Amino acid sequence: MHKAIVTIIQISVYWPFLLLFKSLLNYKVSGTDNLKGCGDSFIIAVNHVSYLDPISVSIALPFRLRYFPLYYMASDYFYKILFFYRFVGAVRAHEGKDLELSGRPLINLLDQRERVVIFPEGTINRGVKTRPHRGISYIAAKSSKLIVPLKIESNLDGSVSVVGGKILDLLTRKHRIKMIYGAPFRIEETIGKTPESLSELREASEGVFKRIENAT
């Protein structure tokens, strides 16, 4: 039942949000050919620049029924405070817990041939270099799924100020969001082996983030 609700909501809002973003945020997507050959189940690894990112990512996928629903990891704060998040595909991050506890829900979804979105930084990047968390490499290693890097290039800041009153900026299309898919890869390709130790997981996660940054 929960999966059906998430699917219906995501399909229902796909075109309205896509039209809105294209009209007001100069929204563009490139590199979707990289999704060919990934099958129905994969991990999208993406940098985090604003609160609009979950929407930006969901409408960056081509409209194919096999891509719905799309799940993404949400911070404990938003998962608890914004109850409706769980009905739009959010999965609780269980921050501060061990990798198995925090990663198991997404691993289970991937085992069920679903698609998941992970922000390796774990939080919005506000101009300060943030080391990616180990979770992305742990989940990728345990699930053996392909990782599709997705880079967001945007002049939005870390807030939702675009919704909070800058009407003139919206009307003049000063904001922009560009989504760039990179070539898919497996986690072993980042360090030459499947990461196991904490140091290997950290190194592999940094390798994932480099692939996001290098997406063209």
Predicted confidence band of residue 149 (pLDDT cuts 50, 70, 90): very high
pLDDT of residue 182: 98
Cα 51 from Cα 117, distance rounded (Å): 14
What residue spans define the domains of the chain? 2-213
Identify the residue with better confidence: 119 or 131: 119
Residue 110 has pLDDT above 60, yes or no: yes
Task: Identify the burial level of 53 via C-beta atoms within 10 angstroms of its C-beta, where 0-12 means exposed, 13-18 middle and 19 or more buried.
Answer: buried
The CATH code belonging to domain 2-213 is 3.40.1130.10
Q: What are phi and psi of 204, to 5 degrees?
A: -65, -40
Predicted confidence band of residue 96 (pLDDT cuts 50, 70, 90): low
Among the listed residues 105, 5, 104, 121, the one whose alpha carbon sits nearest the alpha carbon of residue 53: 121
Q: What is the 3-state secondary structure (H, E, C) of 134-185?
A: CHHHHHHHHHCCCEEEEEEEECCCCCCCCCCCCHHHHHCCCCCEEEEECCCE
pLDDT of residue 60: 97
Q: For 29-54, how does the pLDDT look when each residue is reduced to its tens digit (9 = 90+)?
A: 999 999 999 999 999 999 998 888 99
pLDDT of residue 168: 56
Which pTM was predicted?
0.90
pLDDT (average), residues 86-100: 81
Angstrom distances, CA of residue 121 to CA of 46, 125, 138? 9, 8, 14
Q: For 170-200, how does the pLDDT look when each residue is reduced to its tens digit (9 = 90+)?
A: 656 678 899 999 999 999 999 999 999 999 9
pLDDT of residue 21: 93
Inter-residue contact 195 to 141 (CB < 8 Å): yes
Residue 28 has pLDDT above 60, yes or no: yes
pLDDT of residue 50: 86
